[in-house]
Amino acid sequence: MIKLVAFLGNYGSEYDKTRHNVAWYYADSLPFAEKLIFQSKFKGEFASASPTEISQWACEYKICSKKDGSPVLVSEEAPSHIYFLKPFTYMNLSGESIIEISNFYKIKPEEILVIHDE
């Protein structure tokens, strides 16, 4: 199961509105993006939410998969939290940020989804 979603980009105004930051724009366009409270840590910004919260937010934005609009049931095997990370290292150094949060929360490589510009 995915425990960490890392949105890669390049920090700094010279990279604003370039393809290198498409993952950050994608993160900001998620229907529930404004519900995530990002804070500075792990050489970037990170937020977390429980799978139950994400399921409820999906229903609020009418992207539920259940016909009656009720939240999708969350598996008992789901992680307690899903972490969202925007590293403030450059693209080629984003592993530094990802390693910090992965070590802190004991997240395995196979539990990481990386969103990038290619």
Among residues 2, 20, 111, 116, the one annotated as catalytic is: 20
Annotated catalytic residue 116: no
Q: String of b and e for 33-50 (b: at least 16 CB within 10 Å)? A: eeebeeeeebbbbbbbbe
Give residues with Cβ within 8 angstroms of 5, minimum separation 6. 27, 82, 83, 84, 85, 112, 113, 115
79: helix, coil or strand? Answer: coil
Catalytic amino acids?
Answer: 20
